[in-house]
Structures are given as structure tokens and as C-alpha cells.
Structure 1
Amino acid sequence: MNQAEDVEIVLTHDRKYKFHSGTLARNSTLLNEMLIEPNAAKLSNKAKNAGITIKWMIELKETPTHEYPAGRLGLVDLTSSGERADFRTGLVINENGRVPTKIFDHYESIFYAFYNKEIRICDTDMRAALEDVMQIINIADYLGCTNIISKPVEVALLKHGQTLYRSIQSTPAGWARMAYDLKSECIFTEAMIHLVGNWARNKDTSNEKLREYPQIKALVKKYYRILYQKGKTLENQVASCYPGDMQTPSTDLPIKREVFSKDILVWMALCFFRHWLGQRIISGKGHGGEDGGFELYQQLGAAGEAYMNKIVMNQFHAKIPMTKKAFNVLENHLLEIKECIKGIVDKSNILQSNCQLDVNKFPVTYLTCTKFDREDFPWLSAAAQKTPPKVNSIKRGIRPGGNEIAKQNLEAARGQERDRADEHYEDMDSEDESEGISARKRVRHN
């Protein structure tokens, strides 16, 4: 912490930072190439005696452009006295009422992350947060430190819980791209579940958004085929189901006609059910529908009056009239058939949700049962395993530097230690209260 800061980074005329060359070079491949001894200023003895330690100065030469999405950093020549040879002060940004650029905040967050300072992502607007993270990733990719900031950014995002998951549900393609660049397994899996489940409905727009990410698009299509086949298999099982002992009502073979005639109302109930099921599938409500069969499977999984209710059954009765008693018996048999079908749907797990979004609180209209295999993460494939090599209130003007950040981290750690000690002494003040708390904890654990 007492090591001299020998690098000054100038983002603008009022955003200047002092850091340690070893820390920057160890965490960034770009800075590792810049911070070499031939590029260091040859400070005079007078400058050294005056306490000047800055040997490298790096300046943001350009703000983000199409050619340089993260802007462009460059070395500044220093005199032997440690001053800029060009006598400039850095970029002067005049927003003129426009939306302020966040590029400088993002650079600052990344540099501070080198000193283990937490990266914070605003949760007031998750769409804006997605844009912020994408820009942070652009900067990290430019600096060659994606592997350093990926986990802190992921942790900062996951802290937002359901706010994040709702944003992923609304724009899964954008979050999938971000997670791919960030190499975040949790966020990528969540985005894939929503992409696959809603692929039939949003195929055209998602295809356009994933144009530059063919690996993601290929995975979505792969898992959509799996989901499509799962729905098709379930419908085949439901359509070919003969509940109870309908197929073999007697053990005496050959089975006589009068034995089957006793179950005529059961067969009619099954016929009515398959009539209704066939119409739903033909009308596009099955596995080939926009929702992948979600609405149909929900009805089948709910049983009871969720489908083929009194109104529908009266339509059957109008076409195939029978006595009121017979019709009541038929409806009872239909309820039994529905319960059997419900068991088939439950066993298939097609209505199970594997996403982190609370679908009970924030319902969706498509299937979220996709199980994503870890070996399918694009960055874990053999071709993508080449990770970047790991190399060795604020005032205007000079910003907090490396030593100050390290000092803040140390003070924060000491503060947490004191808090834990205070809690320990408070617990010891009352032995009875402590025993009561322990007892309640044991009850909760059991």
C-alpha cells in the first residue's frame, strides 16, 4: 500500500488517476505492453528529490467511435522533470445538454476493479444497465482484462435478482450476447431458456439480433428442436393413452362383445377427449404453435374444469344427445380420463420451469423447461478455450489512486472485523438470550 504510484492515467482534464505500474501490467495485456522500461520517463535527480514518482502517463486520446468502440489510449511523453512534454491537460468534454457519456465512469470502474473494488451496476433501468455492461466489456476487451472483470460484473448484476431476470426475459437475445462476451454461465443459461421457449414467436427478430453470434443461434436452434420433439412426444403419449383397464376389461379371452358394451360411456368420453385434443393440435395449439404448446399443456396439466368444461360438453351433447343420467356418467368418466392425462403431463416435466425468473409472480406464455448442458457453453468448446494470458465525494482533477483504493479496502475490512467483534460481545451480554437464539436456530434447521 505504501509503494509509490508511478503511472498517471488521464481520461479528461478533470479525471486523473495515479496507479501502480505492476498492478496495471499484471491485470491488462494492453497496459503491460505500454508500461515497459523503454517508455518510462528518465526523471532527473531534482525531480526524484522533489518526490515525483510518475514515470508513465497514459491518456485517453479518443472517445468511443465506430473504429474504436472503447476509445483509444496512448502514451504521453514526459520531460525529465515529470511534466507533460506537450503541456496539454487532457480532453475537455462539453456535453452541451446532451446525455452525459459514461465511458469515463466505466474506465474508472475497471481500473478500481484491479484493486478489488466492487463494480456496481445501476438497477433503476436494466435496459440501460445492459448497455453499460456491454460498454464495460468493450473496454475490458480493449484493455485485455475481460477475465479480470467478468466475475465482478456478473456478481454486480446477479445482486439485482428478479429485476435482472425480468430484463433477461424481455430481451433475451441482448443478454445472451452480453453473457457470451462476459462468459457468464448463469446469465447465459437464463437467456437461453427464454430464447428457446419463445423461439417460434420471436424467431425473426432474434435471428437479426444474433447475426454476429452464430454460435448462440446454433445452440438456440439445437435446444428448440429438443423442446419441439419433447412436446411432440407428449402429445403422442396423450393421444394414444387408454386409461384404466379399457383395453382389457376382462381376463377371459377372447373378450366378448357384451363386456366391452358395459364400458360404452367410457369409450365415448375418450372419443370426445380425443376429438377436442385433435382440434386443438390442428388449430396450431400444440408443439408446432407459437407458444410451443404451453397453453395446451397447461390445460392438460390442470385437469378438472380447465378444459372441456360444461359449455364445451353441452356442444357435444347437442350433436350426440343422450339421457341426462348417461351424460352425467360420461362427464364423470371424462374427469377420470383428465386425471390420468394430468399424470402423463406431470411425468414429462414439460411444465417445469428451469429459469431463475419467478414465473408464479411474473408469468410467461411459453415453455421454460429447457435444461442447458454445461458442455455446450460456447467459450468452453475446444476452439474457444484460448483465454487471454494473465500478465504480470470526489474532487475534480486528481481522482483516488491505487494507494487510496487499497487504503479504503483495508479500512472497510477492519470495519467489518469490528462489527463482527461487536456482535460477538453483544451475544455474550445475555446468556439466556443467546441460548434462546440457538434453540430457535436449531428448530429452524430441523
Structure 2
Amino acid sequence: MVSQMEVEPSNSLARRGPSSVASSSRHRRGSRQHRSTGYISNEFPEFSHTGDVEILVRAGSRTNRYLLHRLILTQCSGFFEASTSQEWSRASNEGGGELARIGEDSGSEVGRNRDVKKRWRYELDTGTNRDDIPMLVQKENKAVSVFGANDALPPPVRNKPPSSNPSFFRSVANLSLASSHTPQAPPISQEDLDLLNDYDNLFRIFYNYPPALDSIDIATAYIQCKSLLTLADLYDALAVVGPRIDHHLLQFQSRLWKQIAKYPTSYLKLGYLAQSKSVFQEALIHVIGAWPQGERHIRRELPDSVLEIIEDKVEDMADMVGKIEGRLFRLNLTTSRGERVTPQNSYLDWLVVSLFRQWLADSTSPPPPLPPTSARGPPSRNGGGTHGSRSSHSHSQAALTVAPPPNYEASPPTGRTFRTLGSFPANYLSHDECKRFLKLTPELYSRDALKRFEKRMEELRGLAREVVKPLMGCCLLGSAEGVAYLTCTRVEERDFPWLGE
């Protein structure tokens, strides 16, 4: 990761490091004098006396000019490091002479003048069509005085026309008249304004100034952060811009966690680009819990390293869920002698286990497809049958449909079912459901039998609560309230892909 310059509140340039870099701080006192005496100031965004990289960002009718330092830009951006290197200069100017520093090896008058140095110049190229990505391109270099652009060679002397020439006065009058009717520049579009703001925020971060991002509306802040990170990625500056984005987003606190829960795949990419552990972890837990929702977006927008982490975590989750499901289906009650209940030794208790297993099977399986309307006949009036024997009860039990948890089709069934099983007090297989089920066997139904049935069902629900406890943990930084899927995925240091890149 590159280091960053520190800018003092006075907007002067200060940096820890070699004296050649820190020399810019010696201009602070001079900058104040320049402001008081009318000279051009030496501060962001135009360091007129020390800057050696001129950048013109033109969008619509507006142009932002920056005069910055190559040393700062190269430390913050791989793009500027490569494009201002000697190797780049040799490759792009092959046969045109050495441009690393004008005149150092030349015998010319300029070469012997050490007050002349090289300046790099970039302009924003918007491309030839709307699909092109605007990109800074390097233009022809020029030599300037180290004392500033305005201290270079004086302009050539031009002969002034004689005052008696009437055409001169007519020209001046026409020029004044034309200037008074100069049309105003067309208004700038929101897209161009956003582009200018992105570049301004990029360079502000390079000089350790806070970026201008929305601190009230988190939805607007997300759009701004995403656009700025995309720009930083274009110039290989994520390592510098990412921490600023992370710091800004974390100021939203609980609002941020709620937004991540709503749009986990979008924030997963944002956290990856910003290299934000908190945002990436929060989004990753939501993505794994709701998988495969958002899979297509993730495959298209994120690298394979992120997808591999998700798939590994989903596989681990599936293994744990499979083991716990098996234990749930094997749950049973015991008699007073410690024997597992069966239809032979405790028929009423065995009905408790049967009802629980049927509810579990219905709750962890997707709903069956509905038959075509034309093939659907009238409801049967003989579904109840007779209840004079235990054999006849088996038919009625097969016809019973236990109501699954609410919002069955709105969320992954397994995660929602486990949350229901882990709830306390239990909110499934309630008194009414137990009563309806027991009434299917009239010879067994009584007030005392119903009380025993409910008591044994509570024992079974307590056993199930202990079985699903490993899946009830919440690793989110925010609240899991209202979340139907599992949020127990643990994210460790090795799960942050940028640490291994």
C-alpha cells in the first residue's frame, strides 16, 4: 500500500520523508505572503510554484484545472507512477530525445539552466462514442520555471498600432460591443457534474482532504462511493481511496447495516473495491445465507476469488445443515422406563413424535406444484373416514396437512425453519394445532390426553431447540431481526480476498 501525504489545516503541503519532498513545506510562509501581495497562491488544487503535473478535467462546458505534484500522484496511483516514469517516456517518445528531465544531458542553454524543469500534462479524453470510458491522457510535455508558470519567459514585444489609426478604435469598439453580448455557457448536465466531482474527490483524497460525499442520505452516499471507487480502480488507486470510503460509510452505523441487508450483493462489491472488512463481511454473511439469490450478479460483477469464498462457505453451511437435519428427524421421546416410544409402548407419545416429524418434513421441503385447473376435482368429503380403530387413523393422519411457518414461499425454507425451531417460546405446533390433530382419533381425545400431548410436545420442542443451537448464532454487526435465513457464517482473515492478492 502506498503512503499518503498529510496536509495541514492551513492547506499547505507537508509530508514525512526525505528533505526533497518536505521542501514544499517551506513555501507555507511564502504562500501567505503571496495571498497578501497579489501573487498566485501555492495550495490545492493549483500548486503554482511547486506543482509539476498539470491536469485538465473537462466535462460539458466546465473545466477543472489541477497543478499537482508528481511525487504525490505516483505514490497514490499506479497509473501516474507508470505514465510519468522514464520507461514510459522512452517508449512513448522513442527517437524524440530524452524527456525524463529536459536538457540534463544536453549542451543547450536550457540544459545548463537548472531553474527549468519538466512538467507533465494530462487532459481528460471522453472518447468517440458514449460507450467509451473517459480517461486522462498525457499530452506533450513542456519546460517551465521552478518559480511558477507565470515566471517563465516574458511575452514577445509587439508593435502597438498608431493612435491616429481610426481602424484601431473601431476594432476596440466592436470588441467591447461583442463582449457585452457574449452568450452564457450552457448549463452542465448532472452526469458531467458527477464526473467532475469524482475527479475532484479523487485528488482531494490524494492530498489527504476529506472527499465531498453525502453524509445524510445513505442511498446517495452509496452511489457517490461506488462511482468514486470505480474511478479509483481505473487509476490503480483503490489502496488509497478505499480507506476513505470505508470511514465515510461506517459513520452511518445502523443505517448502513440495514442497507446491506436489503442489497447485500451490491454492497459486497462495494466492500471488495473499498477493501472494507466490515462492509464486505456483513454483505458476505447475507449473501451466503440467502444463496443462490444474487448469484448471477456476483458472477458478473466480482472476481472468481470472491465467488470461490462464497461457494466454500455455502458448502460448509450445507454440510452443517444436513447433519442437524438428520439429528432432528431422529429425535424421539422416551418412556418412564427409558425406552424409545413406539406405537406399542406409548401410542399417544408416538403421535407427538409423528406430528413433529411431519411438520419438520413439510417445513424443510419446497411446496409441491399445483395441479392443472382442469384436472382439479371437487374436494373429497370422505377424507376423514372412520376413527373406530388405529388402522383407520393412519388414513386420516396421511390426509392431515400441518400449516408451515408464515411467509413460506418468501424466504429459504431451511433457514426460516431452523429459526422457528430455535425460537423461545416456541411459535409452532401450538395448542390449536395439537387439538385439531388429536381430535382425528376421537377415542383418544380428552382434556387430560390433550394436556399430556402438549406437555410431551413441549419436551420435543426443547430437544429440537438444543439441536439447532449451533445454527442460531449471529455473526452480523447489525441486527438479524426480520432476516429469515441463517447468519451464523464466520468470516476470518483468510476470507478477505484482497489480503491474498
Q: TM-score, normalised by structure 2?
A: 0.61
Q: 1:299 to 1:55 in 2, by over 3 A?
A: closer
Contact 1:301 1:341 in 2 (8 A): yes
1:270-281 pair list within 5 angstroms: 270-281=353-364
Higher-Rg structure is 2
Q: 1:93 to 1:277 in 2, by over 3 A?
A: farther
Which residue number in structure 2 is paired with residue 266 of structure 1?
349
Contact 1:183 1:379 in 2 (8 A): yes
Contact 2:122 2:136 in 1 (8 A): no
1 or 2 for the larger relative contact order (CA 8 Å, sep ≥6)? 1
Instruction: Indicate the SS of the match to 2:498.
Output: helix
Identity fraction in percent: 18
Instruction: Indicate the SS of the match to 2:213.
Output: coil
1-structure distance, mates of 2:349, 2:196: 73
1:158-177 pair list within 5 angstroms: 158-177=250-269
Query: Residue type matched to 1:73 in 2?
Result: V
Which residue number in structure 2 is paired with residue 395 of structure 1?
none
Which residue number in structure 2 is paired with residue 2 of structure 1?
26
Matched, 1:210 2:299: yes
Contact 2:118 2:143 in 1 (8 A): no
Query: Residue type matched to 1:182 in 2?
Result: A
Which residue number in structure 2 is paired with residue 27 of structure 1?
76
- 26-35 vs 181-190, greater mean Cα deviation: 26-35
Q: Give the number of aligned pairs.
A: 357
Contact 2:434 2:453 in 1 (8 A): no
1:35-434 pair list within 5 angstroms: 35=84, 38=99, 55-62=119-126, 69=133, 71-78=135-142, 82=149, 94-95=186-187, 98-200=190-292, 202=293, 205-213=294-302, 214-243=304-333, 246=334, 249=337, 261=345, 264-283=347-366, 290-304=411-425, 306-321=427-442, 322-346=445-469, 348=470, 350-360=471-481, 363-381=482-500, 385=501
Q: Per-residue CA shift, 1:388-445, capped at 9, x if unaligned? A: xxxxxxxxxxxxxxxxxxxxxxxxxxxxxxxxxxxxxxxxxxxxxxxxxxxxxxxxxx
Displacement of 1:353: 1.7
Query: Residue type matched to 2:337 in 1?
Result: P
2-structure distance, mates of 1:36, 1:364: 52
Contact 1:64 1:72 in 2 (8 A): no
Q: 1:217 to 1:311 in 2, by over 3 A?
A: same
Contact 1:41 1:56 in 2 (8 A): no
Q: TM-score, normalised by structure 1?
A: 0.68
Instruction: Indicate the SS of the match to 1:293.
Output: helix
Q: 1:223 to 1:317 in 2, by over 3 A?
A: same
Displacement of 1:319: 0.9
2-structure distance, mates of 1:256, 1:227: 31
2-structure distance, mates of 1:270, 1:30: 67
2-structure distance, mates of 1:183, 1:66: 30
Contact 1:70 1:142 in 2 (8 A): no
Displacement of 1:316: 0.8
Q: Per-residue CA shift, 1:13-61, capped at 9, x if unaligned? A: 552233233222332232234446826678x999xx9x99993433323
Unaligned runs of 5+ in 2: 1-24, 28-48, 87-98, 153-183, 368-403
Q: Per-residue CA shift, 1:195-219, capped at 9, x if unaligned? A: 111114x2xx531453243333333
2-structure distance, mates of 1:64, 1:367: 49
Instruction: Indicate the SS of the match to 1:101.
Output: helix
Higher helix share: 1
Contact 1:304 1:338 in 2 (8 A): no
Contact 1:113 1:119 in 2 (8 A): yes
Contact 1:59 1:74 in 2 (8 A): yes
2-structure distance, mates of 1:53, 1:2: 19
Displacement of 1:238: 1.7
Contact 2:116 2:143 in 1 (8 A): no
Contact 1:297 1:345 in 2 (8 A): yes
1-structure distance, mates of 2:449, 2:273: 64
Unaligned runs of 5+ in 1: 85-91, 386-446
Displacement of 1:125: 4.3
2-structure distance, mates of 1:9, 1:194: 42
Contact 2:426 2:461 in 1 (8 A): no
Q: 1:216 to 1:65 in 2, by over 3 A?
A: farther
